[in-house]
Structure 1
């Protein structure tokens, strides 16, 4: 039987859209056009069943080659139709034909309007197969002598994946630049994809390249993200990736979502490309373990900098989060209210402190987002933030809460601006993804201005130290303070909020007295004059005059982080 191209008609066009992917889907406010490969041609296998090539691969193995083909069938009839009995063969440029085995999962019949995929595979102990030019369904009548073979359908193969490493190996597939939108040729889906972030992350098991992909559904119905994987390649080696989402990812019409791929790599490797591969499973009829078959569809250059672009940011403005991020409620408004960088006398390092105001704009309680944060200087050096230890779990509507992060930074750091990244550490755990990136400058302190400890403004009008001795020759220090404290409205402050620490330091640099004070609770600091007892120390530690260091302290899982607010002599 000769090959029968599908007739050009309105019906054929509609059915063709169902069986073979095509079209462009938007994934951003002003998306680039998706790179689309030439659509596969549909052919008639029977009067009602149409066939199209999904994928063809010929990849080298240790002893030869493995050949795999996936064909998509569509029953355009109104009744159940059986797939005709057949052998499945591939034809090479040299005229040799190879018979492939069908997967045990291949369907023998199709319901009306049903789409099914048939998988065929063969491991051949030869490295001289050559180029594949066509495939065919052949009916073999074994009950005649000599046997009679009838070709039911022959189809050309326009795109074959031959494996390999490097740019030359990717010439036979669709290639896109980093950040460009694409569809996956041959995959029955209207979803559009775009890589939005790539980073090398260190884990307890080694280095991993983590790639975040934005998925957009511009169609009219819900779609499940099909099975595919993303590998990374250096100039000499391939590294296999795996999607971190184990449950099916369903995308509603008009929705964007993010999926993630983790690719274990070696230390010091320089990556050159990413490769998107469609995956199928071949199940041997004679038993044995299923085999995953992967066919490269799209090549993407590995970016020089895979981080999302950082937006210029002014302190106090709402933070623009990635709209596709699921870890931040749409009713959650977040603003960076403070970013201070300070010396730590006697500690040998600097401390940066960032304070975020989180506001619940809904009418019901919402979960406090457990995001992570990083500071990166212009040279690309990154400092991981540590979140305060205790944070309220639920945020009530109409109120704001303050969450603080501290960063330990070397004394040599002199950058005047940083990129602040807010990271989701749960969706693709144990890996992170950037959900907001901001460029901002640490705030500079003014000598006469009130000290900002959002939501408080603190002014130390006067402070002095007095000392008393006991019969046991110990000394009790007292601080007399005149403070002015103002607080922003509708911002919740509880025992989780940072504290003030007063340290009395003698001329030798020894701390001879220390006391923490809170902004919440029965003994909280208030405006006006107040006296505070400080710790007792033995007589041999006494010396004069004293210096008073005033710190803001934040309790973190790594210990107490201190921000020097003022030094009074």
Structure 2
């Protein structure tokens, strides 16, 4: 049957918009033209039913080749129409025709204005299929003798993906650069997409490439993100990806959101391409296992040095700007980095960095305390995962600020004076992380005689001394006499969750002979002025003088107690 002309140009426009992928649209923030191949052509299968090719793929297998075709049908009539009885055949350049099996899920009829996709599949024990040039709907009258075959519709296959590895396998599909807007050819959707971040993350199961994609709905109605896959490719191997979102993702008109793909890869592999593939499911009529059919639509150049959110120059104390689509931080919650210090830990063999964030509820009602991860990256690219303090208030009261601390264990050799600090979302692509903010900031340095900064406190040790007492058993215990000056920022809540001070008494041989923790909250909290502290949790039958006092800030984390050395007093 010949291609049927449209009855009018208006009908062509309306049907084309419905069964062919929607037109391109510009982003509000960064206008650009999405990458997309030529529109799919529609053909008349019957008087009311029109057909368009969604995907055609020829993929090598271990024993031969896999042929997969998906055709989209649209019933433009005003009544239910039956899909004519047919076989789906593909024709190759060598004149050979292959008959594909229909999926058990294919519809036999269409309601008025309904769109349906018919899936066909065949496994052929031959690696010499050749180039596919067309496909056809053929009606076979099995009751006639000899049998009568009638071609209902023939369609040229201008877009065929020939699966395989390496750049040669991508020659038949469109290509775009990282971070460029794109659409997915043949998929019945007007959504546009843009790759915004990639990261290689280590898990218990191995190394995983995590890709974040920004989805935009430029249309006038609600749309659900269609099923498609993203794979990574090296010069010699393909790595299959999987979307981390299990539930359907829907966008209202004008809305944007993120979706994520996790791609298990080998350690040390150099990735060259990200491949976008439409996916369909073939269900055998004999009750066998369903087969996922994937057809590559677009190749995206993998960024040479990875693609992560570039850190912005940051000033301590300023509110942090987060990704607009992030759902981790409530819009009424303001987050600021108030401290970033790096200190030695005598006798521990490593250094400790501590970052303190101020969380402020700017609304008039309580809000949940946001839970996020953090990561420090040095000038040489070494990354250190932060340990969040264990106990954090669950709710933020209006008009007040709360402090959440993170500690980082770094090697003694770390000498960076400036770090990139990433704030990570651990839920959006769980169990993987995505970046919601990235800052570049310098470490804070404290002068010898300046007050110690333990936000929201400034602490000055005016004087400190140690006294010793002997028991009847000839053991020694110790007391500390301290003269402190403490000032606190207003409207910042401090409770038992806040970090504490630890005073350690060290003898000339380097032995710990006494230690005591002191809190900034509670009935026995530290206050300005002179106070005595009984350091009696250690005792020894030896006495050695003089003593050195180490003053630490300690933070309880899931991985134990983190210590930040504040001052050494001799």
Taking structure 2 as the reference length, what is the TM-score of the superposition?
0.97
CA distance in structure 1 between the aligned counterparts of 2:467 and 2:27, rounded to whole angstroms: 66
CA distance in structure 2 between the aligned counterparts of 1:516 and 1:27, rounded to whole angstroms: 55
Structure 1 stretches of at least 4 aligned residues deviating more than 4 Å after TM superposition = 536-539
Where does 1:118-137 land on structure 2 (aligned, <5 Å)? 118-137=118-137
Deviation at 1:357, TM superposition (A): 0.7
CA distance in structure 1 between the aligned counterparts of 2:26 and 2:359, rounded to whole angstroms: 31
Asked if 1 retains the 8 angstrom alpha-carbon contact of 2:316 and 2:336, the reply is: yes
Deviation at 1:539, TM superposition (A): 4.9
Task: Determine if the alignment matches structure 1 residue 565 to structure 2 residue 534.
Answer: no
- Taking structure 1 as reference, are residues 343 and 240 closer, same or farther at Cα in structure 2, changes over 3 Å only? same
Of 175-184 and 17-26, more deviation after overlay is shown by: 17-26
Deviation at 1:28, TM superposition (A): 6.3
Asked if 2 retains the 8 angstrom alpha-carbon contact of 1:332 and 1:360, the reply is: yes
Task: Determine if the alignment matches structure 1 residue 426 to structure 2 residue 427.
Answer: yes
Equivalent residue number for residue 548 of structure 1: 549
Deviation at 1:31, TM superposition (A): 4.3
Asked if 2 retains the 8 angstrom alpha-carbon contact of 1:51 and 1:74, the reply is: yes
CA distance in structure 1 between the aligned counterparts of 2:274 and 2:343, rounded to whole angstroms: 42
SS for the counterpart of 1:426 is: strand
CA distance in structure 1 between the aligned counterparts of 2:566 and 2:8, rounded to whole angstroms: 77
CA distance in structure 1 between the aligned counterparts of 2:553 and 2:123, rounded to whole angstroms: 68
CA distance in structure 1 between the aligned counterparts of 2:317 and 2:113, rounded to whole angstroms: 56
Deviation at 1:29, TM superposition (A): 1.7
Task: Determine if the alignment matches structure 1 residue 439 to structure 2 residue 431.
Answer: no
CA distance in structure 2 between the aligned counterparts of 1:239 and 1:176, rounded to whole angstroms: 19
Of 21-30 and 82-91, more deviation after overlay is shown by: 21-30
CA distance in structure 2 between the aligned counterparts of 1:26 and 1:328, rounded to whole angstroms: 28
CA distance in structure 1 between the aligned counterparts of 2:470 and 2:62, rounded to whole angstroms: 85
SS for the counterpart of 2:469 is: strand
Deviation at 1:538, TM superposition (A): 4.2
SS for the counterpart of 2:120 is: strand
Write the deviation string for residues 328-356 of structure 1: whole angstroms up to 9, x where unpaired: 22222111110001111121111000001
Where does 1:239-318 land on structure 2 (aligned, <5 Å)? 239-303=239-303, 304-318=305-319
Where does 1:181-220 land on structure 2 (aligned, <5 Å)? 181-220=181-220
Equivalent residue number for residue 456 of structure 2: 455
CA distance in structure 2 between the aligned counterparts of 1:383 and 1:168, rounded to whole angstroms: 39
Where does 1:444-523 land on structure 2 (aligned, <5 Å)? 444-523=445-524
CA distance in structure 2 between the aligned counterparts of 1:270 and 1:139, rounded to whole angstroms: 49
Where does 1:122-161 land on structure 2 (aligned, <5 Å)? 122-161=122-161
CA distance in structure 1 between the aligned counterparts of 2:539 and 2:56, rounded to whole angstroms: 83
Deviation at 1:326, TM superposition (A): 2.1
Write the deviation string for residues 412-468 of structure 1: whole angstroms up to 9, x where unpaired: 111121111111112222211111111111101122322111111111122222222
CA distance in structure 1 between the aligned counterparts of 2:261 and 2:477, rounded to whole angstroms: 60
CA distance in structure 2 between the aligned counterparts of 1:253 and 1:493, rounded to whole angstroms: 44
CA distance in structure 2 between the aligned counterparts of 1:203 and 1:126, rounded to whole angstroms: 39
Deviation at 1:522, TM superposition (A): 0.5
CA distance in structure 1 between the aligned counterparts of 2:323 and 2:28, rounded to whole angstroms: 11
CA distance in structure 2 between the aligned counterparts of 1:95 and 1:537, rounded to whole angstroms: 92
Asked if 2 retains the 8 angstrom alpha-carbon contact of 1:5 and 1:42, the reply is: no
Equivalent residue number for residue 223 of structure 1: 223
CA distance in structure 2 between the aligned counterparts of 1:471 and 1:144, rounded to whole angstroms: 116
CA distance in structure 1 between the aligned counterparts of 2:141 and 2:328, rounded to whole angstroms: 60
- Taking structure 1 as reference, are residues 539 and 385 closer, same or farther at Cα in structure 2, changes over 3 Å only? closer
Equivalent residue number for residue 40 of structure 1: 40
Write the deviation string for residues 480-500 of structure 1: whole angstroms up to 9, x where unpaired: 222111111221111110001
- Taking structure 1 as reference, are residues 388 and 26 closer, same or farther at Cα in structure 2, changes over 3 Å only? farther
Write the deviation string for residues 340-394 of structure 1: whole angstroms up to 9, x where unpaired: 0111112111100000111122333222222111111122111111111111122
CA distance in structure 1 between the aligned counterparts of 2:484 and 2:155, rounded to whole angstroms: 85
- Taking structure 1 as reference, are residues 531 and 421 closer, same or farther at Cα in structure 2, changes over 3 Å only? same
CA distance in structure 2 between the aligned counterparts of 1:396 and 1:242, rounded to whole angstroms: 40
Deviation at 1:8, TM superposition (A): 6.1
Asked if 1 retains the 8 angstrom alpha-carbon contact of 2:386 and 2:406, the reply is: yes
RMSD of Structure 2 on Structure 1 (CA): 1.6
CA distance in structure 2 between the aligned counterparts of 1:59 and 1:537, rounded to whole angstroms: 72
Asked if 1 retains the 8 angstrom alpha-carbon contact of 2:477 and 2:539, the reply is: no
Of 405-414 and 319-328, more deviation after overlay is shown by: 319-328
Write the deviation string for residues 212-249 of structure 1: whole angstroms up to 9, x where unpaired: 11111121111111111111111111111111111111
Deviation at 1:5, TM superposition (A): 4.5
CA distance in structure 2 between the aligned counterparts of 1:56 and 1:378, rounded to whole angstroms: 48
- Taking structure 1 as reference, are residues 147 and 454 closer, same or farther at Cα in structure 2, changes over 3 Å only? same
Taking structure 1 as the reference length, what is the TM-score of the superposition?
0.97
- Taking structure 1 as reference, are residues 408 and 138 closer, same or farther at Cα in structure 2, changes over 3 Å only? same
Asked if 2 retains the 8 angstrom alpha-carbon contact of 1:137 and 1:151, the reply is: yes
CA distance in structure 2 between the aligned counterparts of 1:174 and 1:442, rounded to whole angstroms: 46
| Residues paired across the two proteins, number | 569
CA distance in structure 1 between the aligned counterparts of 2:468 and 2:6, rounded to whole angstroms: 98
SS for the counterpart of 1:541 is: coil
SS for the counterpart of 1:446 is: coil
Asked if 1 retains the 8 angstrom alpha-carbon contact of 2:418 and 2:440, the reply is: yes
Structure 1 gap segments, 5+ residues each: none
Task: Determine if the alignment matches structure 1 residue 365 to structure 2 residue 366.
Answer: yes
Where does 1:71-82 land on structure 2 (aligned, <5 Å)? 71-82=71-82
Write the deviation string for residues 80-127 of structure 1: whole angstroms up to 9, x where unpaired: 111122221111112222111111111111111111101111111222
Deviation at 1:27, TM superposition (A): 5.2
Deviation at 1:71, TM superposition (A): 0.7
SS for the counterpart of 1:262 is: strand
SS for the counterpart of 1:480 is: strand
Asked if 2 retains the 8 angstrom alpha-carbon contact of 1:25 and 1:216, the reply is: no
SS for the counterpart of 1:168 is: helix
Task: Determine if the alignment matches structure 1 residue 13 to structure 2 residue 13.
Answer: yes
